[in-house]
A and B are shown apart, each in its own frame.
Chain A
Amino acid sequence: MGNKVRTTMEKLTNRATAVDRSPLTFGERLYLPAIFKGLRITLGHIFKKKATVKYPEEKRPFSPVFRGLHVLNRDEEGRERCTACGLCALACPAEAITMEAAERLPGEENLYREEKYAAKYEINMLRCIFCGFCEEACPKDAVYLSETVMPANYSREGFIYKKGDLLIPHPQKQEQGNK
């Protein structure tokens, strides 16, 4: 009973009208009234608002949940937060993240927050689908998706972002630089 075969197509809306193929009347064959009607419509558009956003000068605000380019975070003292646990790489559905872990040597406490750190951290932006799972997976709040759109590049190699490309600037060094 459930599989009733439909013989005629049901109308989806009530807006459908049959095509009128009756021959044109004399008034219609003159074309001119229709042309003036058309011109009135098109010329009326002179005063309409333009739909264009003049992009480089004028930018539309992003949605609050926008997920852009990745950043690797530092803590307040400028130490890298990432411990190379690999959870982001595991969470990544596109397998865009690669990393190599290394052990912190004595004297590097001001560089890395934990005893283990990422010696190599790469995100292949051509693979990345900007889902934000890495951000959710990170237990150390190290990887974040910023509000920057990924810039274009001339080569494929340019899309593989190294740790240097991803790390945010050192807060204290930046302050010194500003002074």
Chain B
Amino acid sequence: MLLLHIDTAFLIEKIILISVILGGSLGVAMYATWAERKVAAIMQDRVGPNRAGPFGLLQPLADGLKLFFKEEIIPDRSTRFLFILGPCLAMLTALMTSSIVPWGPDFTLKNGHTVSLQVADINIGILFVFGVVSLGVYGIMLGGWASNNKFSLLSSIRSASQAISYELAMGISLIALLMMTGSLSLREIVAQQHGFWDGHWPTWNVFKQPLGFLIFLVCSFAELNRAPFDLAEAESELNMGYHQEYSSMKLGFYLFAEYINLFVSSAILITLFWGGYNFPFMDKVAAGVSPVLFSIICVLVLITKVIFMILFFMAVRWTLPRFRYDQLMKLGWRSLIPLALVNMVITGAVILWVIK
């Protein structure tokens, strides 16, 4: 009966944390759609959504409601099971990644119970991210293939090959980072970036690995299927891309998964390179306030950073035109991968001979 001996407090704590993160991700993704439209509007000297509620803040609700009430169409010639599985998988993988992001430092309650603001501290955290992100391609691939439409299939193949190509450069750029941190656990990596200044050098990884960050950033644009790499949704060539045949909330799932991906990958980017929840003078703040309040401040710092990252992604989307497919592949294979390799070799040499 020892197997059934479950720590109830632990279970409740995790369930609460998971619900909060799930709700939070969905909420941020909802408002990311609103923010995207606002950012686009501002950059084009327009006003953007402003009818539903103050500043159009209820617009995402209205959009969601509209999608729910739309007629659900499953094409006759589609592979029904896979057609439904596609958007589910896209949504699932989008949400799964958020489980390993450390949202804030641990804090101890008055009864001595330590609460961790990370759903699962896996020691192979980054590998898990890569695994789940690659799984996300299946959502797109299945959707595109199962809808039995040439354009969808073309788009999903494009998307898959793009994701695979850029995952390589992404992985190699991260290897350089991992050589410096010596750990795959995200919690460890964030702990190493404590504060902002360790007396000699900024602690955040972006200052130690600027080229690695750049490559990772470019690759995340490609992984997220966002402009300038949104080849999968090139309207002029493929109509709507892999979600051409989808309607109602299944379409909503695809669109929504994209924004959750945007949120989660921004969070991972911040965690890996921009110090996660760390901020300058955090030790002084920690000494001044209670541990619970300090954790909340840290979470807010992380969220602020993530929002800035999302806004940056959006600014780039509304600035750059789309790459051509051969240019995309050329950039991935002939520029980013060699660059990432060079970065890795330089990092290795520096660790071997300079830092020791």
A interface, CB within 8 angstroms of B: 29, 35, 38-39, 41-43, 45-46, 48-52, 54
Contacts and interface: CB of A to CB of B under 8 A. Distances in A.
B315 interface: yes
B43 A50 contact: no
7 contacts: A35-B319, A38-B320, A43-B315, A45-B44, A48-B45, A50-B47, A51-B46
A41 B320 CA distance: 11
B128 interface: no
Contact of B318 (A42, A50, A51, A54): A42
B45 A45 contact: yes
A24 to B, nearest CB: 11
A42 to B, nearest CB: 4
A38 B319 contact: yes
Contact of B45 (A43, A51, A54): A51
A48 B46 CA distance: 10
Interface residues of B, number: 13
Contacts of B47: 50, 52, 54
A46 B42 contact: yes
Query: Which interface residue of A42, A49, A50 has the most chain B CB atoms within 10 A?
Result: A42
B337 to A, nearest CB: 15
Contacts, number: 34
Contacts of B108: none
Interface in B27-64: 42-47, 50
Nearest to B335: A29
Given A35-B316, A54-B47, 19 more contacts: A38-B319, A39-B316, A39-B319, A41-B319, A42-B315, A42-B318, A42-B319, A43-B315, A45-B43, A45-B44, A45-B45, A46-B42, A48-B45, A50-B46, A51-B45, A51-B46, A52-B46, A52-B47, A54-B50
A29 B336 CA distance: 12
Determine the main DSSP class of B at the interface with A.
loop
Contacts of B45: 45, 48-52
Nearest to B318: A42
Contacts of A42: 43, 315, 318-319
**Secondary structure type dominating chain A contacts:** helix
A119 to B, nearest CB: 45
Nearest to B327: A31
B264 to A, nearest CB: 24
Nearest to A35: B320
Nearest to B214: A32
Contacts of A41: 319
Contacts of B315: 39, 42-43
Nearest to A56: B51
A51 B48 CA distance: 12
A45 B42 CA distance: 7
Contacts of A35: 316, 319-320
A54 B41 CA distance: 14
A102 B42 CA distance: 61
A49 B44 CA distance: 10
Contacts of B50: 54
